[in-house]
Structure 1
Amino acid sequence: MTANLKVDFHTHTSDDPQDYIGFSAEQLIDRAAERGFDALAITNHDAVTFSRRLEEYAAARNVLLIPGVELTLSHKHVVVINPGFKKAEDFRSLDDLAAIRNDNTLIIAPHPYYPGSRCLRSKLEPCLDSFDAVEFSFFYNHFINPNKRAVATARKSGKPLVGSSDCHNIWQVGHTYSLVEAEKGIPSIIAAVKNGRVEVATTPLSMGSMFRVGINWVLGDKLNVHLRI
């Protein structure tokens, strides 16, 4: 039976080998359950954080845990949902997307037009056919919104738009997510997104919240100061 499932396709945890994240996979799952999520993908950078134990931990809280990873390909970030591999280091180029993509995976262009050096930006359109969806990211407000170009690209190309939290701070959970019309199973969710049965649910951040995200990014991800505000 299909339903509008509350899903976050882009999150991070303390297992992330690149960024400092101050909460565990279990804590993220707990928060997602508290916020009424039906499904969740942990997409740490170049590392697949998924195990039978975590899958069962999530299931006990009525959350479907979906395998995922945020790959670095040609120095740009790409989110792969339900990857058919465990070793992210086997893939290094955007040209590898042809080998990664299949009916069972979902390839998402995350925060594509944000100013970060790892964002796809001009690299997206030349390889847009290798992507299944474009991300609408949580980090915006009424005055600053780099998602506008992502929305335009999705509309022009006919690609679905998915909402994600890109959660580096646990309070981000629930600000932006996807509503997917599907059965509660990985194949059904992936097929639904590819067929456009997905909507973005989002709330703009306050200026204070955007400031918090920026400070935490500088402290944790750039200066390696393990402090979150």
Structure 2
Amino acid sequence: MTLRCDLHIHTNHSRDGESSVEEVVRRAEETGLDVIAITDHDTVTGALYAMTVPTSIIIIPGIEVSTKQGHLLVLGVREVIPPGLGVRETIEIAHSMGGVTILPHPFHMWRHGVGLKLKEAILLVDAVEAFNSRYIVGAANRKAAMMARRYGKPCIGGSDAHHWRYVGYGTTIIDAEPSIDAILTAIREGKTIASCRMTPLRTYTRQSLRSTWGRLKRRIPNLKL
């Protein structure tokens, strides 16, 4: 059967997430999604909590890991993978845990794409995020899709939503039975079709400025406007 999935969603368990787990799940139900993956930054608390919320939607636990070279999505894990390691080591750890590894927004350096390690990472991961709804223009998505095809990697789509309103903006149609294990296997086997529509520019800009300001405050605790 075919399942409509959003495989890249943040909740307020992420340092830059704006919406509760319940709001995200409710929105997923309203938009007719069958599957969502909760992939908060460097934590699985939101994903584990989402799995306890009563819903007919399949919740895939996941995490977006901050590697030394850039971000890495890992689906199907329930434990934290330490941030700050090299991308190769992080992928190896994720695979040892049974996780599916996905390279998110690979051509967006401001949002922690893997940059100089891009080719190495694409060769090692299970799939590439070819459609991310938070790109301002479509060129970077097209480049990601081209790179995935060049190296024979499955393409997935994700909203990268940081607010419940944009859950479902990026989707992956997956040919699989409705279970976490079957869905992860289907991703590895490339039984996926990815698509997205863009997050409104004003929202993307506001969230990016808020995230940048948050990083500055963490680095300089006494910083004031």
Q: What TM-score do you get using the length of structure 1 for normalisation?
A: 0.85
Q: 1:193 and 1:43 mapped to 2: Cα distance? A: 16
Q: 2:84 and 2:111 mapped to 1: Cα distance? A: 19
Q: CA RMSD in A?
A: 2.1
Shift of 1:214: 1.2
Which AA in structure 2 matches 1:105? G
- Please state if 1:130 is matched with 2:124: yes
* Match of residue 210, structure 1, among 192, 197, 201: 201
Q: 2:97 and 2:149 mapped to 1: Cα distance? A: 22
- Please state if 1:114 is matched with 2:108: yes
1:76-129 superposed Cα distances (whole Å, 9 cap, x missing partner):
10000012x523327622131123215932100000001315111331202323
Which AA in structure 1 matches 2:213? L
Q: 2:146 and 2:83 mapped to 1: Cα distance? A: 33
Contact preservation (8 Å) 1:64, 1:185: yes
Contact preservation (8 Å) 2:68, 2:84: no
Q: 2:50 and 2:171 mapped to 1: Cα distance? A: 21
Q: 1:145 and 1:107 mapped to 2: Cα distance? A: 23
Structure 1 gaps, min length 5: 225-229
| Superposition pairs of residues 63-212 of structure 1, within 5 angstroms | 63-83=57-77, 86-89=79-82, 92-96=85-89, 97-102=91-96, 104-116=98-110, 118-135=112-129, 136-140=131-135, 144-204=138-198, 209-212=200-203
Q: 1:34 and 1:24 mapped to 2: Cα distance? A: 16
Q: 1:10 and 1:117 mapped to 2: Cα distance? A: 14
* Match of residue 31, structure 1, among 27, 30, 38: 27
Kindly tell me: are residues 45 and 166 of structure 1, through their superposed partners in 2, closer, same or farther at Cα, counting changes over 3 Å?
Answer: same
Shift of 1:75: 3.9
Which AA in structure 2 matches 1:223? W
How many aligned residue pairs are there? Answer: 212
Q: 2:111 and 2:28 mapped to 1: Cα distance? A: 29
**3-state SS in 1 of match to 2:4:** strand
Structure 2 gaps, min length 5: 215-225
Kindly tell me: are residues 117 and 101 of structure 1, through their superposed partners in 2, closer, same or farther at Cα, counting changes over 3 Å?
Answer: same
* Match of residue 51, structure 2, among 49, 52, 55: 55
Kindly tell me: are residues 119 and 106 of structure 1, through their superposed partners in 2, closer, same or farther at Cα, counting changes over 3 Å?
Answer: same
Q: 1:79 and 1:41 mapped to 2: Cα distance? A: 10
1:227 counterpart residue number? none
